[in-house]
Structure 1
Amino acid sequence: MIKIGGLQKFSLIDFPSRISAVIFTQGCNLRCPFCHNRNLVLPEYYGQTLDIKYVFNFLESRKKMIEGVVITGGEPTIYREITDFIERIKDMGFLVKLDTNGTNPEILVELINKKLLNYIAMDIKASFGKYEELAGIKIDLNKIRESIKVILNSNVEYEFRTTLVRDLITYTDIIKIGQMIKGAKRYVLQNFVYSENVIDKSLKNSYGFPETDRKKLKNVLKKYVKEVILR
């Protein structure tokens, strides 16, 4: 059964060009040190879950106020029931955006084939040579490659995105990621900002990339992707 770790009732920024609500699933199969949702990732920090009936009752009451629903985490695709969950949301008339780490491409294929997604945001943690270091756990990199391919070849709106942590990822790593997603419509670079909810507390004095470096990256990445967004 899907565990809901949180609900943001109103957002203007999480679903591009849409007013949305955000549903946070509890649990994740990665342990990225820079993740700022440890309460959704590390079991020892889990909070009380929300009743699914409450979530759907809320959505029912907001049909005329919001356009879309963002499913994020944690990692939503660790739940096999995610397809039925999203299908129910779609049946209510909402657009759906999925945030994912791309470790379960078979779920992505299922959701895309059933036309259940209107937008996909996939986090690219690092270049393949450093992927496990930044994912915090051993993973099957072929799953990441497959998810990238699935998204690139889909008819669903999407973005790839990477968190810039100056102590963990380099300028060269970002260029390599651009090559990994060559031909992509949109690549978002989001600067790391420390919070008390970060998984690795040793990153307390870490920062994102300077503005000059981010602008340089943006210009170079345009050789590989159509649009680069700095956040």
Structure 2
Amino acid sequence: MTNDYPPIKDFIESSFLDWPGHTCAVIFLPYCNLRCPYCHNHQLVLKPDTMETLFLETILERLTALRHKIDGICITGGEPTIHRGLPAMLKIFHEAGFGIKLDTNGTQPDILQYLITEGLVDCVAMDVKAPLDDTIYARCAGVFVPMSIIKRSIEVLAAADVPTIFRCTVTPTLLAESDVYLLAKGLNDLRTEGLVGQDTAMSLTLQNFDPANPMEPALKDVKPFTEKNLSRMQEQINRILG
């Protein structure tokens, strides 16, 4: 097989969490164009060369053996969409009969549009890092990200014929509770602006920050939101997005 396929750096045979309603294998691709301080996969981002590269042929053999246990594959990272060979890899998995769920940070809207148009993904989860504000977003993403790009990805996914999950990791020192509501309002405003259809159903799922292994060591001392507070914020977001 060609070396143009993205390198695979880790593989989980079975997960009940990564694709809601599915039992899926998880494939981890290296590198990312963001530097989120709370990232727990930062070895994949910063030091992927210290990790073993798994052969695609070997992964396909293992997936074939798991066919009776799983009904799909979650492709995550890192950021999968920065790899030019991603479409070819997804095509191989699809031709082998596996559904594909893609995790993305939404910084490559044209790639997302291509993958959806070509029928190479069956579900997409986009991590929206913060309210759609340059300053706050840069704080949470670790680098500057033009909001036009993020809005375009949201537009692409909201109009797609595949299930879409928008989610946000909430880290207390990076996002205040008011920021979380500002994000939900910003998503809702995309309907008003005409970037998303007025009748388009939109939701945002909050994920709690995990202090165990963040990219930024100082965050190890930060206490996550309590489950009670997280649930309360989720309820308010659901009301905002209607």
Q: TM-score, normalised by structure 2?
A: 0.88
26, 29, 35: which one aligns with 1:31: 35
Contact 2:26–2:73 (Cα < 8 Å) also in 1: yes
Give 3-state SS (helix, strand or coil) of 2:184's partner.
helix
**Which of 130, 144, 155 is equivalent to 1:138?**
144
Deviation readout 1:146-194 (Å, 9 max, x if unpaired): 0011111111111111111111101111112112322543321111111
How does 1:209-228 map onto structure 2 within 5 Å? 209-226=225-242
Q: How does 1:123-202 map to 2 (within 5 A)?
A: 123-129=127-133, 130-182=136-188, 183-196=200-213, 198-202=214-218
- Asked if the contact 1:158/1:186 (under 8 Å) is kept, the reply is no
Structure number having the greater strand percentage: 1
Question: How far apart in 2 are the matches of 1:137 and 1:51?
Answer: 32
Indicate whether 1:72 and 2:87 are aligned.
no
Is residue 151–residue 158 contact of structure 1 (8 Å, CA) maintained in 2? yes
Q: Structure 2 unaligned segments of length 5 or more: list them.
A: 189-199
Once the two structures are superposed, residues 81-137 of structure 1 have per-residue CA deviations (whole angstroms, 9 ceiling, x without a partner) of 111111111111111100000000111000110112111110011113200111111
SS for the counterpart of 2:107 is coil
Query: How far is 1:45 from its partner?
Result: 6.9
Q: How far apart are 1:44 and its partner, in Å?
A: 6.9
Indicate how the Cα distance of structure 1 residues 61 and 44 shifts in structure 2: closer, same or farther if over 3 A, else same: closer
Q: Determine the structure 2 residue equivalent to 1:9.
A: 13
Per-residue deviation, 1:47? 1.1
The alignment of Structure 1 onto Structure 2 pairs a total of residues equal to: 225
% identical equivalent positions: 34
Q: 1:218 to 1:76 in 2, by over 3 A?
A: same
Structure 1 stretches of 5 or more lacking a match?
A: 227-231
Cα displacement string for residues 180-218 of structure 1 (whole angstroms, at most 9, x for unaligned residues) = 32254332111111123x210000111222334323322
